[in-house]
Amino acid sequence: MSITTQPTVNVLNGSLACAFNDGRPTGSNELIPSIPGNALENPTFDVVESPPFGVSFNGALYFDGNWGHFGQLYVSNFSFEVSTNNFFLANFPGFKDLGGGELGDQKKVLKIFGTGTNFPDNLGDKANRDNSRTAGNIPLVGMSETEPAGAFPDSGSWCRSEWWQGVSVPDGATKVKFGAYVRVAEDDDFRARNCGGVYLKTNGPVQAIIDAIVVKRDEDTINLVTGGMAAGLNSIQQWSGISATKGGTPLTYPLRWNDPMEVNSIDYVNTSNHRQFRKIEKEITLNESTDTLGIGLFFGENQANLDESGTPTGSIQFYNPFVVFS
């Protein structure tokens, strides 16, 4: 490594002078940011089991039963499996793909990307071209700039693919800070209008409440719907996903339709500020009726990009997401 390239190395902990053992740093160059009071279980995915690659069932539990995947694109006309596009990377430069199989219990970086040219054009009740899909099937619209969304493919609507965890709110907590360390590599920036980020779902007296941080390309302007929405299609199309409370046999995170709901706030940050891992975070005041909440790490794929162009979707990388109560 030359002097001129050293400043591009990502370091969240320790110095650049780092010894390697069997191809891995001895510790000072790994991503090990301290998050005091983090309420999430297994935020660094440091268990041996492999994640799902390609397809999974919504809400099925992974990583010691702490995380569930949610997606909106059915991959089959005959089952409820959804497109699941992610890799797990080493947590040190250059963040190489760890591959499938047993990944070991090392701390991992989560990389999520889109479906793009592999968009499954399904039929019937699992048609991925039906923006009016509601309860009974998962909604196709993950979030949008208008309410309701336009006809598919609507360039003002996004499909989400995400990892999710529910958290119990401790007695006496009045505020919560959430976020993650995020990176969007310059050589894998988002395709136009694709995005990613972190969001929190909490409870109001009669509705779901959403707060989000959206990472986008500098040149893109995205203005997602905010405010309250009464029960119906408009509400269901905004940030529905899986529940923050596990249930059923086998145990899963059941599907969740935000009906009615409120988008309380959305912050936007640019990818140019996240070429190396940098923390995004947001603090909100909890509603008194919130006893559980959920955090989602998501990739948002613009519906206009679900095509056969072969254009790369881009990706977003997450490390050490957190939920901290006060």
Question: In the structure encoding, which two tokens stand for residue 112, read together?
Answer: 């999520």
Per-residue pLDDT at 34 exceeds 70:
yes
Is-contact 214 223, C-beta < 8 A? no
3-state secondary structure of 8: helix
The residue ranking higher by pLDDT, 49 or 44, is: 44
Average pLDDT over residues 2-28: 48
Q: What is the DSSP letter of 190?
A: P
Per-residue pLDDT at 10 exceeds 60:
no
3-state secondary structure of 143: strand
Q: Are residues 94 and 150 in the same domain?
A: yes
Type and span of the H or E element at 134? none
Query: Domain residues for 21?
Result: 1-30
Plot region of 86 (φ>0 → left; ψ -120 to 50 → alpha; else → beta): beta
CA distance 11 to 46: 20
From 13-17, 167-171, 212-216, 277-281, the region with the lowest mean pLDDT: 13-17
Question: In the structure encoding, which two tokens stand for residue 148, read together?
Answer: 């309701």
Q: Are residues 77 and 217 in the same domain?
A: yes
Q: Are residues 241 and 160 in the same domain?
A: yes
CA distance 195 to 213: 10
Strands 20-21 and 278-285: unpaired
The residue ranking higher by pLDDT, 318 or 17, is: 318
CA distance 307 to 318: 26
Q: Is 275 exposed, middle or buried (0-12, 13-18, 19+ CB in 10 A)?
A: middle
Q: Are residues 4 and 147 in the same domain?
A: no
Q: Give which of 129, 165, 180 is closest to 306, Cα–Cα.
A: 129
Q: Are residues 55 and 17 in the same domain?
A: no
Q: Are residues 257 and 239 in the same domain?
A: yes
Q: What domain count does the chain have?
A: 2
Q: Which pLDDT band holds residue 256 (cuts at 50, 70, 90)?
A: very high
Q: What is the pLDDT of residue 38?
A: 98
CA distance 188 to 46: 25
CA distance 76 to 120: 8
Dihedral of the CA atoms 155, 306, 80, 180 (nearest 10)?
A: -70
Q: Are residues 18 and 140 in the same domain?
A: no
Q: How far is CA 172 from CA 95, 143, 215, 283, 288, in A?
A: 39, 32, 32, 16, 10
Q: Are residues 4 and 94 in the same domain?
A: no
CA distance 240 to 294: 12
Q: Are residues 97 and 137 in the same domain?
A: yes
Residue 249 CB neighbours (<10 A): 5
Per-residue pLDDT at 78 exceeds 50:
yes
What residues have CB less than 8 Å from 56, skipping those under 6 apart?
Answer: 69, 71, 81, 82, 84
Tokens 């701390």, residue?
A: 107
- The separation between the first and the last C-alpha atoms of the chain, rounded to the nearest angstrom, is 43
3-state secondary structure of 244: coil
Mean pLDDT for the chain overall:
91
Q: Are residues 311 and 257 in the same domain?
A: yes
Q: Are residues 112 and 219 in the same domain?
A: yes
Tokens 């995400």, residue?
A: 162
Q: Are residues 258 and 180 in the same domain?
A: yes
Average pLDDT over residues 213-226: 98
What residues have CB less than 8 Å from 240, skipping those under 6 apart?
Answer: 138, 139, 142, 255, 256, 257, 258, 259
Residues 263-318: tens digit of each pLDDT = 999 999 999 999 999 999 999 999 988 999 999 999 999 999 999 899 999 999 99
